[in-house]
Amino acid sequence: MSEQQIDPRDEPAPFGAVVLLTVASAVAVMAVTSLLNEPPGLKLLMLGPIALVVFEVVVHEVWWQRWWGALPGAVLGLTLYFEGREALGDLIGDSWAHPIAYVAAWALFAVVFALASRYPRTLSA
């Protein structure tokens, strides 16, 4: 009897850790930018969560063909950010709309990325 070998490339990104840490880093970025007197640049807003997702991919050795989830995650996250910020701005004001939409967008990105990392699977015999 031979035990079926598990291909390490079939290990998905850890869902809870990726989502929780991405959201936590987005909250941290919002906290730091609230301390700045001038509005943050795009590079600062993208730095924390992107660095965290790259770290998770490298540490957990997610197969490169599973990174495809970053593209639909980015599209959905950006859509949520711009549409959500506008809708929230009408409801609660611009000062809270930006941070809430920012964190929600990164949360959606992380969820899509983590779920997409489960496919495709390798063809093990």
According to DSSP, residue 8 is labeled G
* Tokens, residue 18: 């990726």
CA 87 to chain centre: 22
Q: pLDDT band for 1, please (50, 70, 90 cuts).
A: very low
The pLDDT of 8-31, averaged and rounded, is: 85
Q: Which residues of 76-92 are buried (b: 16+ CB within 10 A; e: fewer)?
A: ebeebbeebbeebeeee
Task: Spell out the domain ranges in the chain.
Answer: 14-116
Q: Are 115 and 15 in contact (CB under 8 A)?
A: yes
Specify the pTM.
Answer: 0.81
For the cut 70, the answer to whether the pLDDT of residue 3 exceeds it is: no
How far is residue 59's CA from residue 23's CA, in Å, rounded to a whole number?
18
pLDDT, greater one: 110 or 11: 110
Measured CA to CA in angstroms, residue 110 lies from 14, 22, 33 at distances of 10, 7, 21
Q: What would the pLDDT profile of 79-115 be if each residue is shown by its tens digit?
A: 999 999 999 999 998 888 989 999 999 999 999 988 9
At residue 64 the predicted structure's pLDDT band, cuts being 50, 70 and 90, is low
